Structure 1
Amino acid sequence: MIKMTHAVATAALLTMGMFGGTASADPAPRHGLRSGLAKVTLEDDRSRITVMGEGSQSAVPDVMRLNAGVEVRRATAGTAFADARAAAAKLTEALKTAGIQAKDLRTNELSLGPEYSTYPTVSGYRAAQGVEAVVRDITSADKVIDTVAGVGEEARLNGISFEVSDNRRLVRAARDAAFRDATARAAQYARLSGRRLGPVLTVAEEDASPPPIRFAGAALADKASISPGQQSISVHVRVVYELL
């Protein structure tokens, strides 16, 4: 499996199954970094080594997702809903005018409910409608956000996120790096144990949880207030080699 992260590090533990002992191979992981494993076992006069490799590639995100919407409070439910729908239509048209294509606009909230002064006394009604806009030209991010704010007092900005639209090239490169890392680890342990590295027996990508994207930076900071930072893609691979 693949995880999204901005830090790449792996520690290792060498378990010598043939001797029934355990030895520390790399320094203990620091700053909460993920540790890997290296294990040597002997079965029926055949030795094998299992190692974890990790590889990472980074890129500047080229897509921004903007969550926005409208919210109104009125004395009656019908008026609140109608006014929210009208404000949402105004917001949608404004986003289209700002360069967002209709296929990149998606309604993600539609709500209507009472508000209470003291329960169960209803003081009014709240209606809201939300929209997710995919901004494919990040250089226009500030313009799009200003467009939302310009819709009026009903407008709401609920957050943004960034992503790489096509990360397949990054994933392939990260896999290459992870496999090279696994091979280097295995070769080192084979040498330390006085053996030679044999053929690959199994390969498996490991499951990992995606941490948040890192927003560091300066890609647009000198021109605008919105910066996509950098997104890293990491791959962990577990490889089993025969030892000769």
Structure 2
Amino acid sequence: MYYNYPGLQHTDVRQQDDHTVRNRLIVTGEGSVSAVPDQALLTIGVITENQNLSTAQKENADKTASVIQSLLSLGIPQSDIQTSSYRIEPQYNYENGQQIFRGYRVEHQLQVTVKNIRQTGQAIDQAVANGANSVSSIQFTVSSPDAFYNGALALAIQNAQQKAVTMARTLGVTLQPVPVEVQETSQQLPPRPIPFQAVMYAQSAETPIQPGENKITASVKIQYTYS
């Protein structure tokens, strides 16, 4: 609802609002920090084949139990060892265009979290020595990414502020130091794991594993006013 009063200049108010809106300086900023991973996620599997399904399952179960026990002996808690997949598939050979049944393949994949990252190679070797015959992936992650992300976010804001100051100085205008809007444009997700792919891992004296570094990035969009 609008009211008209004598002497009130509505056009001046609109012009002032338009002027304020025009005097906006919008900048984006990005910041990143490097974090050394402190834990590893292993996918370790036991694959067995036999013409008899029950035999293939029992052999797989026995080997998987042995693998789990070997990991527990390293001090890895039961809660950090979980089944990620369990599959039973019939296997066939093809001869002269005909499908010939060969047997059953049973695959049990475990996801193992190694919180003492220095034990990664030892955990792999122990698992392989006790029946594991597949290591499908190794990923290195940071267990507490929030602190690193907040550091990256602070750098992103500083980066945006520096851009705003530079632009205002170049334009010859006075920048208001307090922004009118700050928007976090990055999604606070766990840092992308560093992959280390390996299939049918071979046993060694001790498998050398290099965790590398995670890069955690944040970005912001900030609006300032100037005069």
Same fold (TM over 0.5): yes
1:92-241 matches, cutoff 5 A: 92-118=68-94, 120-152=99-131, 155-198=133-176, 199-207=178-186, 213=194, 225-241=208-224
Given that residues 148 and 157 in structure 1 are in contact (C-alpha distance below 8 angstroms), is that contact kept between their aligned partners in structure 2? Answer: no
Paired residue for 2:199?
Answer: none
Paired residue for 2:54?
Answer: 78
Gaps of 5+ in 2: 1-15, 197-205
RMSD (Å) for aligned C-alpha atoms = 2.3
Q: Secondary structure at the match of 1:200?
A: coil
Are the structure 2 counterparts of residues 62 and 211 from structure 1 closer, same or farther at C-alpha, using a change threshold of 3 Å? Answer: closer
Q: Distance in 2 between matches of 1:169 and 1:142?
A: 28
Q: Distance in 2 between matches of 1:75 and 1:82?
A: 13
Q: Does 1:44 align with 2:44?
A: no
Q: Aligned match of 2:35 in 35, 59, 65?
A: 59
Query: Which structure has more strand as a fraction of its residues?
Result: 1
Per-residue deviation at 1:224? Answer: 6.7
Given that residues 139 and 195 in structure 2 are in contact (C-alpha distance below 8 angstroms), is that contact kept between their aligned partners in structure 1? Answer: no
Q: Distance in 1 between matches of 2:45 and 2:167?
A: 57
% identity of equivalent residues: 29
Q: Distance in 2 between matches of 1:136 and 1:45?
A: 57
Q: Distance in 2 between matches of 1:166 and 1:200?
A: 30
Q: What letter is aligned with 2:115?
A: R
- Structure 1 runs of 4+ off > 3 angstroms? 207-215
Q: Secondary structure at the match of 1:196?
A: coil
Per-residue deviation at 1:98? Answer: 2.0
Q: Which whole-Å deviations, capped at 9, do the CAs of 1:202-228 have from their partners, x for residues lacking one?
A: 11122479766488xxxxxxx971111
Q: Distance in 2 between matches of 1:122 and 1:87?
A: 25
Given that residues 138 and 195 in structure 2 are in contact (C-alpha distance below 8 angstroms), is that contact kept between their aligned partners in structure 1? Answer: no
Given that residues 77 and 113 in structure 1 are in contact (C-alpha distance below 8 angstroms), is that contact kept between their aligned partners in structure 2? Answer: no
Given that residues 72 and 83 in structure 1 are in contact (C-alpha distance below 8 angstroms), is that contact kept between their aligned partners in structure 2? Answer: yes
Query: Which structure has more helix as a fraction of its residues?
Result: 2
Q: Distance in 2 between matches of 1:129 and 1:48?
A: 59
Given that residues 137 and 195 in structure 2 are in contact (C-alpha distance below 8 angstroms), is that contact kept between their aligned partners in structure 1? Answer: no
- Aligned positions, number: 195
Q: What letter is aligned with 1:203?
A: V
Given that residues 186 and 220 in structure 2 are in contact (C-alpha distance below 8 angstroms), is that contact kept between their aligned partners in structure 1? Answer: no
Q: Distance in 2 between matches of 1:156 and 1:94?
A: 16
Gaps of 5+ in 1: 1-41, 216-222
**TM-score computed with the length of structure 1 as normaliser:** 0.74
Per-residue deviation at 1:121? Answer: 2.5
